[in-house]
């Protein structure tokens, strides 16, 4: 699926280079995002683009006492995600670089949602927590106390920039993490239905099976209607095998806060159990919900395809001798 097409009608300010002016020092395959550009003299040291991903970014400063609960001050976004890290140029402050980005984006029709500097971003505390969420999973120097953050929005496009500084005086070097999220629908109907007979065979061989036909709303435990067919097959398996007890295990990818994902996966497992009980009459005593969060991936979390494989529900046979 191609990224959302947004026409550019206003030129960037003179201090931002054109998107085609990539430097020889850029890493192979990297390029500027056409909606953002680059500060003249900066080099790209990291680049990644995912056709569809889910990501959380701060949409406000940290409220007092909320540093440990980022879910209360981030917004969840999904779509084409482009991640870029710029370094340099030496001798320019991060604040100067970020004000130029803000000016350029606003000239291009973007609205500034958040602009905060250093301790302002952390509110009553937790500057390292804010830095961690604002970088969009892009590796950055851990000079948290120099953090400057910008979130801008135009229609379905969000641009987040986190800058920090290394060095000092005339040797200061700005580093900028750029995350662009272009909202669009994901390709659906890509997972084959796992029938009851296939689940029964998997139990006999492995004692467990991962199913991908159970869908939830983004950042929610609400089951989508597309899940009905897969849950019906699971109910059929349980009704045909009355001695079978199972653990319903929710799994997430690694995007987002560890504790929050653990709790979300538990709620999703519980939602499957509740549906089996309320809609199919399965005895609740035969079902045990469990949330594993991101701790048991089946592959890495480095690409969207791999993260999609890690987002799953597993059915585990709860076998005991009688």
Residue among 142, 165, 138, 162 nearest 152 (CA): 162
Instruction: Specify the pLDDT at position 277.
Output: 96
CB 147 within 8 A of CB 131: yes
Quick one: DSSP state of residue 75?
Answer: E
Task: Report the relative pairing of strands 74-87 and 43-58 from DSSP bridges.
Answer: antiparallel
- Encode 230-239: b = buried (16+ Cβ within 10 Å), e = exposed: bbbbbbebbe
Instruction: Specify the pLDDT at position 70.
Output: 86
Q: Which two tokens stand for residue 174?
A: 């700005």
pTM score, whole prediction:
0.55
Whole-angstrom distance, CA of residue 96 vs CA of residue 140: 19
Instruction: Specify the pLDDT at position 88.
Output: 92
Whole-angstrom distance, CA of residue 134 vs CA of residue 62: 11
**CB under 8 Å to 92, separation ≥6 — which residues?**
39, 41, 172, 174
Looking up tokens 């497992």 gives 269
Whole-angstrom distance, CA of residue 314 vs CA of residue 212: 9
Whole-angstrom distance, CA of residue 147 vs CA of residue 128: 9
Domains plus CATH for the chain? 16-182 (no CATH), 196-317 (3.30.1330.60)
Q: Which two tokens stand for residue 55?
A: 């990501």
Phi-psi region of 155 (alpha: psi -120 to 50; beta: other; left: phi over 0): left
Instruction: Specify the pLDDT at position 265.
Output: 94
Instruction: Specify the pLDDT at position 230.
Output: 92
210 burial level (CB within 10 Å; 0-12, 13-18, 19+): middle
- Give the residue ranges of DSSP H helices in the chain: 94-107, 119-122, 127-134, 196-206, 228-240, 258-280, 304-310
pLDDT tens sequence for the chain (322 residues): 444 433 333 334 434 544 434 444 899 989 999 999 999 999 999 999 988 888 999 999 988 888 888 888 898 888 899 999 999 999 999 999 999 999 999 999 999 999 999 888 887 667 888 999 999 999 999 998 899 999 999 988 999 999 999 988 778 999 999 999 998 644 544 556 888 888 888 888 889 998 988 988 878 899 988 899 999 999 999 999 999 999 999 999 888 788 989 999 999 999 999 999 999 999 999 999 999 999 999 888 887 778 888 899 999 998 766 5
């Amino acid at each position: 699926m191609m990224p959302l097409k947004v026409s550019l009608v206003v030129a960037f300010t003179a201090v931002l280079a054109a998107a085609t002016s990539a430097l020889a020092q850029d890493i192979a395959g990297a390029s500027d995002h056409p909606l953002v550009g680059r500060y003249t003299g900066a080099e790209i040291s990291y680049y990644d683009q995912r056709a569809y991903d889910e990501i959380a970014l701060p949409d406000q400063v940290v409220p007092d006492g909320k540093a440990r609960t980022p879910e209360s001050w981030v917004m969840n976004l999904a779509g084409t995600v482009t991640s870029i890290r710029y370094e340099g140029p030496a001798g320019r402050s991060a604040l100067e670089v970020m004000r130029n980005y803000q000016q350029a984006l606003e000239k291009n029709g973007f609205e500034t949602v958040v602009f905060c500097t250093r301790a302002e971003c952390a509110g009553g505390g937790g500057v390292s927590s804010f830095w961690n969420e604002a970088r969009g999973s892009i590796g950055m120097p851990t000079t948290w106390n120099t953090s400057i953050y910008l979130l801008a929005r135009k229609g379905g496009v969000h641009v987040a920039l986190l800058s920090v500084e290394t060095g000092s005086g005339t040797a200061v070097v700005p580093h900028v993490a750029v995350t662009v999220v272009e909202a669009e629908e994901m390709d659906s109907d890509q997972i084959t239905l796992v029938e009851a007979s296939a689940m029964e065979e998997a139990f006999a061989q492995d004692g467990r099976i991962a199913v991908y036909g159970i869908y939830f709303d983004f950042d929610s435990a609400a089951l989508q209607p597309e899940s009905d067919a897969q849950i019906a097959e699971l109910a059929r398996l349980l009704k045909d095998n009355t001695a079978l007890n199972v653990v319903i295990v929710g799994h997430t990818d690694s995007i987002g806060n560890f504790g929050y994902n653990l709790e979300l996966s538990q709620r999703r497992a519980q939602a499957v159990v509740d549906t089996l009980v309320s809609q199919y009459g399965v005895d609740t005593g035969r079902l045990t919900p469990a949330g594993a969060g991101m701790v048991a991936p089946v592959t890495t979390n480095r690409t969207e395809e791999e993260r999609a494989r890690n987002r799953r529900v597993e059915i585990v046979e709860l076998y005991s001798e009688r």
